């Protein structure tokens, strides 16, 4: 069994392992690991160009299409260079077709310790939740690589802690941010409002805003899922690490009864 999601086979080319298999279709890539890989590329590009430690404050992904379980190519562009704020784009493509695009805002860190604070509710501790076997709902290699615990509060409402012991890229260390980003898309599968055998509801985007850089391997999700009456849904999540809230994420869904 592979203990990594991707193998780098060229400077900008990565091959997925079986652990990237998707939840909706195991023959397609689950975007979770790819979101982490794109965030890691943003950090690598930053570190290659500068040494002043800009922090990533927003990760905005557009899911432009599905990606097969075949190699992907990444391209990186600094859309808005700046001394204290930058906008960087990383796009994953396959056979010349773009699949997922990330635009990340990076900001110069400041000392705001004297005014820090937040108003989000805390999460129950990991050991206060029951084990949650996600493979009972979803298939695919990625879901099988996840350890999770859940407090279910009703249809479309849940709190979950989840982690993975699988590296993003074979033989490479990963930052806390990259590992965290590689778990973000899990939010759309943890507070099920309708059984996936009855309703399709894949997300076509994901935007995460972070007011603090995440730490550790556990990711906390305080998630609510809403379906409208015209085929559009929304997954909203307050994101946590073991120290507390770190930000929020939003995903727009295309809701399609089977």
What are the pLDDT digits (tens) for 51-83? 999 999 999 999 999 999 999 999 999 999 999
3's CB contacts (< 8 A; 6+ apart) are: 165, 166, 167
The DSSP element (H or E) to which 186 belongs, if any, is none
What are the tens digits of pLDDT across the range 81-102? Answer: 999 999 999 999 999 999 999 9
Q: Above 60 in pLDDT, residue 241?
A: yes
Domain boundaries, the chain: 4-109+124-257
**pLDDT attached to residue 2:** 64
What share of the chain has pLDDT > 90, as a percent? 99
Q: Above 80 in pLDDT, residue 234?
A: yes
Q: What is the pTM of this model?
A: 0.96
Task: Please report where in the chains the tokens 């007011």 appear, as a residue.
Answer: 211
Distance from the Cα of residue 75 to its chain's centroid: 19
Residues 235, 158: Cα–Cα separation, whole Å: 11
**pLDDT attached to residue 1:** 54
Beta strand segments in the chain, E = 4-10, 13-16, 55-63, 72-80, 85-94, 97-107, 130-131, 146-154, 157-164, 167-169, 199-200, 205-210, 219-227, 232-241, 244-254, 256-257
DSSP H helix total and E strand total for the chain: 3, 16
Give the chain's mean pLDDT: 97
Q: Above 60 in pLDDT, residue 218?
A: yes
The DSSP element (H or E) to which 179 belongs, if any, is helix 176-181
What is the second-level CATH architecture of the domain 4-109+124-257? Beta Barrel (2.40)
């Amino acid at each position: 069994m592979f203990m990594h999601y991707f193998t780098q086979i060229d400077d900008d080319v990565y091959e997925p392992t079986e652990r990237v298999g998707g939840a909706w279709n195991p023959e397609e890539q689950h975007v979770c690991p790819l979101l982490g890989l794109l965030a890691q590329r943003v950090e690598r590009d930053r570190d290659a160009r500068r040494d002043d430690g800009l922090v990533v404050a927003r990760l905005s992904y557009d899911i432009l299409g599905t990606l097969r379980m075949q190699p992907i190519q990444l391209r990186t562009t600094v859309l808005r260079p700046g001394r204290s704020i930058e906008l960087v784009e990383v796009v994953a493509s396959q056979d010349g077709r773009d699949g997922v695009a990330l635009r990340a805002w990076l900001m110069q860190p400041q000392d705001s310790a004297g005014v820090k604070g937040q108003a989000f509710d805390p999460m129950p501790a990991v050991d206060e939740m029951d084990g949650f076997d996600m493979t009972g709902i979803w298939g695919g290699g990625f879901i099988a690589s996840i350890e999770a615990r859940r407090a279910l509060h009703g249809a479309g409402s849940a709190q979950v802690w989840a982690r993975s012991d699988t590296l993003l890229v074979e033989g490479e260390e990963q930052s806390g941010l990259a590992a965290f980003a590689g778990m973000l898309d899990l939010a759309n599968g943890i507070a099920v409002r309708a059984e996936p055998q009855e309703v399709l509801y894949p997300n076509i985007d994901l935007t995460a805003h972070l007011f603090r850089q995440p730490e550790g391997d556990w990711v906390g999700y305080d998630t609510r899922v809403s379906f409208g009456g015209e085929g559009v849904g929304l997954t909203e999540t307050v994101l946590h690490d073991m120290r507390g809230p770190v930000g929020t994420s939003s995903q727009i869904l295309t809701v399609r009864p089977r």
